[in-house]
Amino acid sequence: MKKLITHKQHNGSTRIYFLNDNVKHWIQDWETFELGNELGLWGRQEEIEDIPEDPNYISGTSFYLRKSFKFAHDPLDKMVCTQKFGKWPEFYKKWDMAGHNGVDFRTKFDDSPDGKRPVYAVMDGVVSAAVSIEGTSGYGKHVKIDHGNNHETLYAHLDLLKVLNGQKIKAGEQIGISGNTGVGTGAHLHFGYRPKPPLVDYNNGFKGSIDSLDYFLADIKFV
């Protein structure tokens, strides 16, 4: 398997650096790599434009990110998408974004006419933010979970939180109940996925978030 180490900007194009599989025997767990590190004879570089279309990669940020995993659990028991990532760029200009920086999911169904449904953590992690006071941000009541390795998820517009800041969370554990707090047009769950720097540039137009649709377990329905 190719292992992506770093990337560089060269005359307007981005080069990505892959690590030869054999090199893992020469690198210690405690070693770190900064953007721009040279890999010497052990690595090779390719222009992004020269890489053939590959469903295992996603672009749309300043970095190529491997789609090599799935979330361990879906955030809702019914996954119906009402607004995709990147939609309505004109509307989101007011927040200095290039479009919707998450994915919205319906929470109003026959068995939840008020839009209040259990919301679950998608991976193990630690609660990095548990905002239970409405009016502090457009997200309303929301939870952020740090999953380690620079990965963070956001669960916004909640009606009720069931976790505290700093709490350890397991995938599939209920973290709250969906609602209609913050800026929105009705009850729904706004889910955000942010591989934090250096994995993704915070200034990618979506405040570091990327499209999360490919990482869910369920077959997503769209309306």
Q: Would you list the domain boundaries of the chain? A: 3-51, 80-222
Residue type, 6: T
With contact defined as beta carbons under 8 Å apart, do 212 and 192 qualify? yes
DSSP state of 90: H
Residue 202: its pLDDT value, please?
Answer: 81
Q: Whole-angstrom Cα distance, residue 60 to residue 89?
A: 14
Q: Check residue 96 and give its pLDDT.
A: 85
d(CA 189, CA 176): 11
Distances (CA, A) of 42 to 19, 165, 197: 7, 43, 25
Per the CB < 8 A criterion, the answer to whether 39 and 4 are in contact is: no
Computed on alpha carbons and rounded to an integer, the radius of gyration of the chain in Å comes to: 19
pLDDT value of position 201 = 79
Ranges under pLDDT 70 in the chain: 1-68
pLDDT digit string (tens) for 144-198? Answer: 999 998 899 999 999 999 999 999 999 999 999 999 999 888 999 999 999 877 7
What size, in residues, is the chain? 223
User: What's the CATH fold of domain 80-222?
Assistant: Glucose Permease (Domain IIA) (2.70.70)
How far apart (Å, rounded) are the C-alpha atoms in residues 17 and 30?
Answer: 20
Q: What per-residue confidence (pLDDT) applies to 31? A: 44
State the pLDDT at residue 64. 44
Q: What's the pLDDT at 67?
A: 56
DSSP alpha helix (H) spans, the chain: 89-92
Work out the angle at residue 150's Cα, subtended by the Cα atoms of residues 144 and 155, and round it to the nearest 5 degrees. 20
Q: Is 40 helix (H, G, I), strand (E, B) or coil?
A: helix
Closest-CA residue to 145 (of 162, 204, 106):
162
Residue 5 tokens read as 């180490």
Q: Is the dihedral of CA 91, 120, 60, 202 positive or negative?
A: positive
Q: Which pLDDT belongs to residue 97?
A: 87
Q: Is the dihedral of CA 56, 196, 124, 184 positive or negative?
A: negative
Q: Which amino acid is at 97?
A: M
Per-residue pLDDT at 23: 39
| pLDDT at residue 92, as a whole number | 84
pLDDT score for 185: 83
Reference 48, options 13, 23, 8, 89; nearest CA is: 13
Question: Collapsing DSSP states into helix, strand and coil, what is residue 50?
Answer: helix
pLDDT at position 194 is 92
Supply the pLDDT for residue 45.
Answer: 44
